[in-house]
Structure 1
Amino acid sequence: MTDTKPKTCETPTAKQQRVWDKAAHSYDKQIALFERIQFAGGREWLAERAQGRVLEVAIGTGRNLPHYPQDVKLTGIELSTEMLSIARDRATELGIAADLRQGDAANLPVEDASVDTVVCALSLCTIPDPRRAIAEMSRVLVPGGHLLLLDHIGSTWPPVYALQWLAERLTIRLAGEHFTRRQLPLVQAGGFEVVETQRLKAGTVERIHAVKPVEPSQS
């Protein structure tokens, strides 16, 4: 008899959780070389601009933890429970009292206007709905709060961009990983004021510092 029971479809978010749970225990080793060559100084750049109540979205294994100023109050959100476990161990080893929670970037378990800085490093390239994630980052920021992003994006050099596009044909399907996606237009469309950007490594890496506008007082 033919099985007519419909097959369960995996959502993009569930797929990302599965992919990063599987990659969690080898992630630090795999990313180390790329951080030295392509993203060098990026985590320090983010952390030195973070202030007050800081929310890191997609904190991963906690590779930003050693770089934050000691006076920030840090909350971290991570979809992958396996990566979150590693981040918690890292925070304990470093003596950092961070509130690390499991959660989705598209539905942050954080109250409106409750943080001063949002940080997201090397993650909007894989988050299924980056526009919604940025809207959530805006929601939880206080007016005048800071948004700090680091990611790889499509190169300004056509031969490199072509290679990135080709690589995406495989990486998007297997792991939801985008190489030509760019976050800056989404940040601008989300109403943020961009105050600082850096584009490095043949245009393949971008750092963004933006501020959520302060609404004019109503008379």
Structure 2
Amino acid sequence: MEINRQIKLFEKQAGKYAKRARKQTIDHKWRRRLLHSAEGNILEISVGAGTNFQYYPEDAEITAVDFSPTMIEQARGVAAEQNLKVDFIVENVEELDLPARSFDTVVSTLSMCSYPNPEKVLEKLGTLCKEDGQILLLEHGVSTNRLVSSLQHMMDPLVKNRIGCHVNRDMLKLFDESTLEIKRVESSLLNSIHLVWARPLYS
């Protein structure tokens, strides 16, 4: 089953994720910009090693989900260092059993590249977010630059096999076709990095 293979790949990478969580790499400027508006009862999926914790309010109520037990253990350490109260759940987000419309802020950063069914994950995020809440996404995908995109398509099978990540997904199309209302998008690095502010669509 593909999801089980994904879990094994990320289990092996947990130590590297933990080291990166404590370094100011290029992605931190995007995380900071996106997450400064995070508030209230926060749900973060694919929390990894807890890289985003430093950008949440000290009094935030945080629920952190990841399908990798080892990633969760790394994130626990980061949360303890920062004196954050976090409820951790080891689960595949598609199988997540939480009350609908229960979170003020729902966060996903650099995770849609890895899910077998990212459209279902986005739909799930919409159902978990309060009607007046916000969904914050930082994702990477295929560039609009023809040379870069051709390299991404060529490298995708290798990258997917080694680290469980697709580098050539059309994230903007994925967002547009999702069940979310996209409020704002900011793109950079030849349109391969996207910061997205969204909200759920409820009839």
Aligned 1:12-51 pairs, distance under 5 A: 12-29=2-19, 36-37=25-26, 39-51=27-39
Report the equivalent of 1:135. Answer: 123
Give the paired residue count.
203
Instruction: State the Cα deviation string for residues 103-162 of structure 1 (Å, max 9, x = none).
Output: 112122321111111100011111111011111111111112211111111111111111
Which of residues 139, 143, 154 is equivalent to 1:166?
154
Shift of 1:56: 0.2
Label 1:25 to 1:47 Cα distance change in 2 as closer, same or farther (>3 A): same
Structure 1 residue ranges without an equivalent (≥5): 1-10
Amino acid at match of 2:200: K
Which of residues 117, 122, 135 is equivalent to 2:110?
122
Shift of 1:30: 5.9
Shift of 1:201: 0.9
Aligned 1:172-191 pairs, distance under 5 A: 172-191=160-179
What is the rounded CA distance, in whole Å, between the counterparts of 2:150 and 2:174 in structure 1?
22
Label 1:133 to 1:214 Cα distance change in 2 as closer, same or farther (>3 A): closer
User: Alignment RMSD, CA only?
Assistant: 1.8
Instruction: State the Cα deviation string for residues 167-206 of structure 1 (Å, max 9, x = none).
Output: 1021223443111113333333233221111110111111
What is the rounded CA distance, in whole Å, between the counterparts of 2:148 and 2:18 in structure 1?
25
Report the equivalent of 2:90. Answer: 102
Label 1:91 to 1:120 Cα distance change in 2 as closer, same or farther (>3 A): same
Normalised TM-score (structure 2): 0.92
Normalised TM-score (structure 1): 0.86
Which of residues 145, 153, 162 is equivalent to 1:157?
145
CA contact (8 A) 1:105 1:127 kept: no
Label 1:214 to 1:133 Cα distance change in 2 as closer, same or farther (>3 A): closer
Structure 2 residue ranges without an equivalent (≥5): none
Which of residues 36, 46, 63 is equivalent to 1:58?
46
What is the rounded CA distance, in whole Å, between the counterparts of 1:214 and 1:132 in structure 2?
16
